[in-house]
Structure 1
Amino acid sequence: MHGRARSSGTSLAWPTDARITSATWRKRFTRRLAISDTVLLVVITTILWFALPVPAPVDLAVNIASMVVLLLALTLMRTRTTEVIGIGVREYKRVVDAAALSAGLVAVAIMIFEVYDSRQELLIFYPTALVVLLASRWLWRRWLLAKAAQGYALSQVLVVGGTEDIAYVVRQLRKNAEAAYKVVGLLADQECNEKLVSIGVPVHQGLDSLERAVEDTGADSVIVAGPLEGGNTALKDLSWRLERTRTNVVVVSSLTNVAGPRISTRPVEGLPLMHVEMPSFVGGHHVVKRAMDIILSSIALVCLAPVIVVLALLVRRDSSGPVFFSQVRVGQHGKTFRMYKFRSMVVNAEAELERLKALNEGNGVLFKMREDPRVTRVGTWLRKYSLDELPQIYNVLRGDMSLVGPRPPLPSEVEEYRGHTGRRLFIKPGLTGLWQINGRSDLDWEESVRLDLYYVENWSVTGDLMIMWRTFKVMLKPEGAY
């Protein structure tokens, strides 16, 4: 799997046994997941059995049935397929769905067989099992990411398409999905250039060399990065040719802002139809989001009150001026509100902005400087660890913001919006979001907008919880915070 390419112009050789190694390693990993799930559920069932004050045979039967049904649900819900493990939230969501399904089935069985005394064990087993399984999957993902750093991946892929499409797909895979997909080769359907060669993997040219590229690189999957020169006919021909090599075909959708849960297919005779659900900006799940905001922000304000008091004293002692800084931002549907932060700059920072604009290191629309002279001594590490944003929890409780959402823009930024950028304002801005866990100030404007629009179109409660978790990790190891 880890053979090195040998330079030979634009076509570089790769060990032909890489495919076998990759497929074997992938099967071995999914088998480990299955064994891990089984062992953990057996341990939980055993502990609950011995923890019962007066265990009865019926209790043991219910616990064993709960375990077996959950294991079957984990398999039926495809929680261990390579399409979901390693990246994104779909793996975790499927585990939650499997637990909910199996709990419902066992609860119905308890009612049918009238073993009501075992309901207590049921209420203990499933929450415990869910937490343990999610923690286990997270640990396995950490292990998988560590293996990815050593060159392992669940699938070794050959990326096919035009130069710009290939470069974009490779960049996104390397940034977000190296544990799932390792790029081992490129195939330009037109003339390739130095941009592809600089990626550092074997490069082939022309769809005529497809089979040779697959064999040389040992790829077990081919990603079609965008429209091919020959159109749909070329794509159909490519998929038929790859049948002989037993290579999977993955097509990058042109609907780049649409996530999987919104896409479904309905085959009609000779015409596969892709259905894309309309994004929802109102409704029950937004009520759940608001309820989560109120509950979590209330708990956070109470728990963090001592920290907020200490930080306020440090800000007051460090430099003259108010403890808090407020600024008008634009919220949902263009409604303005006043956002609060700990003051991390000198009092006359706004007046100094015009003098410093020529030194802007931001993404063009936003002003950012790595060594901004207006930042105070305490403000430097407040901004580095995002502690200056803690007062925004109050904005969340008030309803101006959400815990997770697009970045809250300034009115001057909104005036610069063009095209569909204004869709960022369809939902409430967030205390954190995809922009914060993917580089913050290091992002260019286009990437920042793309992440915000993706979130607006595809947010979910499970996704919000994942973003919150990743935010804690980013706060400990900050990137792009200045």
Structure 2
Amino acid sequence: MSLIDDQDTPHTERAVGDRRRATTGPRLSWASDTPFHAPLTASAPSDWRGDHAHYQVATLARDVVLATGIPTLLLFVMHGVSLLQLGWGLLIGLLFITMTTVERGYDRQVIGDGHLEFEAVIRGGVLTAAGLALLAVGADVDVPRTIVFAALPLVVLVLIMARHAARRSLHKRRAAGKSMRRTLVVGDAASITGVVQDLRGLPQYGYQIAGVCVPSFVGPLPGLRVPVLGTVSDVVQVAVDGRFDVVIVTGSELSGQALRRLSWALQRTRVELVVAPGIVEVFGPRVSLEPTAGLSLIHVNAAESRRSRIVAKRVFDSAVALSGLLALAPLLLVIAAAVKLTSAGPVLFRQTRVGKEGDEFSMLKFRSMVVDAEAQLAQLRAGNQADGPLFKLDRDPRITRIGHFLRRHSLDELPQLINVVRGEMALVGPRPPLPNEVVQYRESARRRLLVKPGITGLWQISGRADLPWDEAVKLDLRYVENWSIAFDLMILWRTLGVVVSGHGGR
């Protein structure tokens, strides 16, 4: 492999501290006019670019049809078929698509991955409503109330559902190894190992790790099962030879001017450069990039930095919890009667749990165990099947007959809507821990107490009681660091499917 040569690099630059390491062959400078040779191998290009472009176009086309069609049909039904109603429908569609585009709802980095695209649709709907309000006030235009109170909410809901269905199809394709980005990971062995393991465990994000580059070429990395294709200085040539789509830089091997030169060289290819800064599970509005004094400074705001977001979540949780209690009142009465008639003891089970900032509260549940369940716990601890501070027993003899059904479908959790109304819990959040569990927490796990515990959470939709302790903590921390109402809506939506199927029931 003919790689990199430093002949065009000034002698004074060779003393710079971020000087690149030795290559596996002759070296061309990353900053030269020819930082790489023509591909030396016949690796087939991935299908990612074409597939993703098709996915973007299909999403945009579907949104255009729905965002214009739904308001138009609704206006026709409510106000009759006319050119005026058609005009309103087309205006709403154009305005909605424009606002969603402004909110990056069709960006390649957002679409198909994460909850950010759902947030973009919601914000697009809010901005559309704001635009119509300005039109009504500023131009004295009579905007049909049908649009504001029926058409826009319906468009937002339908678009989110359509995107969710499209994403599930995309994730199935990626799980089958299709529509994946050929990815080259660059950095030290420890940093590479963490990135490779994380991305391999979540193929829905579309990164197919096909090779790595390390500081010194020492052969395969033990236990990684990814070929070492060269050293850090070989990155550009390896990326071109292997027809990679993405280069991920992790660790501290490449920084400063070396990383800058690498970005220059990769700009001459079709390979994208991604930097993993090591800030685990922090993204979205909490992270902002500020160019200052020739530097790119990453600002990481506190998880609970904006009072308005906290108030909005509190209002949302209270409104949904109250509505849920009213709508589910008949079901709650049936469950209460079933618990009372099938076993001796009270209908509700009260247990002390730890909430936000370590404040204790009495959590409510429908009783699913015998009355003296707490007294029997000490005798059963020897058979504990959970790791960490949790307790789990597949065939727990303390659970009543009706309790098995209630726990499998999480119906025993419904009284916690009262805890939400009281302000002790949220609809979505980390699992509410017991005081004796909190005593065993390490520093990282204590960050779970930064927000209110939830009736459901990422742990609920990702395996529930089947998850090991460390994985459950990781999911809870991801929520704590990045919570938003749009994130909550996505989790609540997925919770419905988990509850109906009973997957991972306790």
Shorter-normalised TM-score: what interval?
0.7 to 0.9
1:247-269 Cα distance to aligned partner (Å, 9 max, x none): 11111232214222111112134
* SS across alignment from 2:223: helix
Show the counterpart of 2:223. 195
Contact 1:79/1:85, CA 8 A, preserved across alignment: yes
Contact 1:221/1:250, CA 8 A, preserved across alignment: yes
1:80-138 Cα distance to aligned partner (Å, 9 max, x none): 12211222211011122222223323432344443326455455442332223222222
Residues 97 and 373 of structure 1, relative CA distance in 2, 3 Å threshold: same
How far residue 387 of structure 1 moved from its aligned partner, in angstroms, is 1.9
Residue 232 (structure 2) aligned to one of 199, 203, 207: 207
Contact 1:65/1:106, CA 8 A, preserved across alignment: no
Deviates more, 1:309-318 or 1:396-405: 309-318
Residue 440 (structure 1) aligned to one of 464, 476, 480: 464
* SS across alignment from 2:208: strand
Determine which structure has more spread, i.e. the larger CA radius of gyration: 2
Show the counterpart of 2:314. 290
Give 1:35's aligned amino acid. A
Structure 2: give runs of 5+ residues left out of the alignment: 1-39
Q: Is 1:244 the equivalent of 2:272?
A: no
Q: Is 1:185 the equivalent of 2:213?
A: no
1:149-168 Cα distance to aligned partner (Å, 9 max, x none): 33223633233334443343
Give 2:221's aligned amino acid. N
Contact 1:26/1:155, CA 8 A, preserved across alignment: no
Give 2:396's aligned amino acid. D
How far residue 315 of structure 1 moved from its aligned partner, in angstroms, is 3.0
Show the counterpart of 2:173. 147
Residues 122 and 477 of structure 1, relative CA distance in 2, 3 Å threshold: closer
Q: Give me the whole-angstrom Cα distance separating, in 1, the residues matched to 2:339 and 2:41.
A: 58
Residue 431 (structure 1) aligned to one of 455, 460, 465: 455
Q: Give me the whole-angstrom Cα distance separating, in 2, the residues matched to 1:54 and 1:292.
A: 35
Show the counterpart of 2:244. 219
Q: Give me the whole-angstrom Cα distance separating, in 2, the residues matched to 1:306 and 1:62.
A: 42
Q: Which structure 2 residues correspond to residues 10-49 of structure 1 after superposition, within 5 A?
A: 16-19=43-46, 21-48=47-74
Q: Is 1:467 the equivalent of 2:491?
A: yes
* SS across alignment from 1:18: coil
1:381-438 Cα distance to aligned partner (Å, 9 max, x none): 3222222212222222222211111211111112122324333223221111122222
Residues 99 and 392 of structure 1, relative CA distance in 2, 3 Å threshold: closer
Give 1:253's aligned amino acid. P
Contact 2:69/2:89, CA 8 A, preserved across alignment: no
Q: Give me the whole-angstrom Cα distance separating, in 2, the residues matched to 1:299 and 1:409.
A: 26
How far residue 56 of structure 1 moved from its aligned partner, in angstroms, is 5.9
Contact 2:245/2:271, CA 8 A, preserved across alignment: yes
* SS across alignment from 1:375: coil
How far residue 208 of structure 1 moved from its aligned partner, in angstroms, is 4.2
Q: Give me the whole-angstrom Cα distance separating, in 1, the residues matched to 2:259 and 2:473.
A: 30
Q: Give me the whole-angstrom Cα distance separating, in 1, the residues matched to 2:78 and 2:418.
A: 44
Give 1:405's aligned amino acid. G
How far residue 212 of structure 1 moved from its aligned partner, in angstroms, is 5.3
Give 2:244's aligned amino acid. A
Residues 307 and 156 of structure 1, relative CA distance in 2, 3 Å threshold: farther
Q: Is 1:85 the equivalent of 2:111?
A: yes
Residues 63 and 255 of structure 1, relative CA distance in 2, 3 Å threshold: same
* SS across alignment from 1:194: coil
Contact 1:14/1:218, CA 8 A, preserved across alignment: no
Q: Give me the whole-angstrom Cα distance separating, in 1, the residues matched to 2:191 and 2:347.
A: 48
Contact 1:186/1:203, CA 8 A, preserved across alignment: yes
How far residue 480 of structure 1 moved from its aligned partner, in angstroms, is 3.7
* SS across alignment from 1:314: helix
* SS across alignment from 2:127: helix
How far residue 31 of structure 1 moved from its aligned partner, in angstroms, is 1.0
Contact 2:75/2:146, CA 8 A, preserved across alignment: no
Residue 425 (structure 2) aligned to one of 401, 404, 408: 401
Q: Give me the whole-angstrom Cα distance separating, in 1, the residues matched to 2:89 and 2:343.
A: 62
Residue 75 (structure 1) aligned to one of 101, 105, 127: 101
Q: Give me the whole-angstrom Cα distance separating, in 2, the residues matched to 1:264 and 1:281.
A: 14
* SS across alignment from 2:93: helix
1:204-259 Cα distance to aligned partner (Å, 9 max, x none): 353244345435654311222x3144555554454344333321111123221422
Residues 430 and 120 of structure 1, relative CA distance in 2, 3 Å threshold: closer
1:293-317 Cα distance to aligned partner (Å, 9 max, x none): 2222122222222322333333334
Q: Give me the whole-angstrom Cα distance separating, in 2, the residues matched to 1:296 and 1:117.
A: 29
Q: Give me the whole-angstrom Cα distance separating, in 2, the residues matched to 1:122 and 1:166.
A: 50
Residues 209 and 143 of structure 1, relative CA distance in 2, 3 Å threshold: same
Overall identity of the aligned pairs, in %: 39
* SS across alignment from 1:87: coil
Count of residue pairs the alignment pairs up = 464
Give 2:211's aligned amino acid. L
How far residue 24 of structure 1 moved from its aligned partner, in angstroms, is 1.3
How far residue 27 of structure 1 moved from its aligned partner, in angstroms, is 1.0
Q: Which structure 2 residues correspond to residues 361-376 of structure 1 after superposition, within 5 A?
A: 361-376=385-400
Q: Give me the whole-angstrom Cα distance separating, in 2, the residues matched to 1:24 and 1:441.
A: 40
Q: Give me the whole-angstrom Cα distance separating, in 2, the residues matched to 1:308 and 1:420.
A: 37
How far residue 455 of structure 1 moved from its aligned partner, in angstroms, is 2.2
* SS across alignment from 1:16: coil
* SS across alignment from 1:469: helix
Q: Which structure 2 residues correspond to residues 385-424 of structure 1 after superposition, within 5 A?
A: 385-424=409-448
Contact 1:434/1:455, CA 8 A, preserved across alignment: yes
Show the counterpart of 1:356. 380
How far residue 328 of structure 1 moved from its aligned partner, in angstroms, is 1.0
Show the counterpart of 1:10. none
Contact 2:367/2:403, CA 8 A, preserved across alignment: yes
Question: Normalising to structure 1: TM-score of the pair?
Answer: 0.86
Residues 165 and 48 of structure 1, relative CA distance in 2, 3 Å threshold: same
Give 2:50's aligned amino acid. T
* SS across alignment from 2:224: helix
How far residue 284 of structure 1 moved from its aligned partner, in angstroms, is 2.6
Q: Is 1:324 the equivalent of 2:348?
A: yes
Residues 361 and 166 of structure 1, relative CA distance in 2, 3 Å threshold: farther
Q: Give me the whole-angstrom Cα distance separating, in 2, the residues matched to 1:472 and 1:405.
A: 16
Residues 313 and 168 of structure 1, relative CA distance in 2, 3 Å threshold: farther
Q: Give me the whole-angstrom Cα distance separating, in 1, the residues matched to 2:418 and 2:224.
A: 48
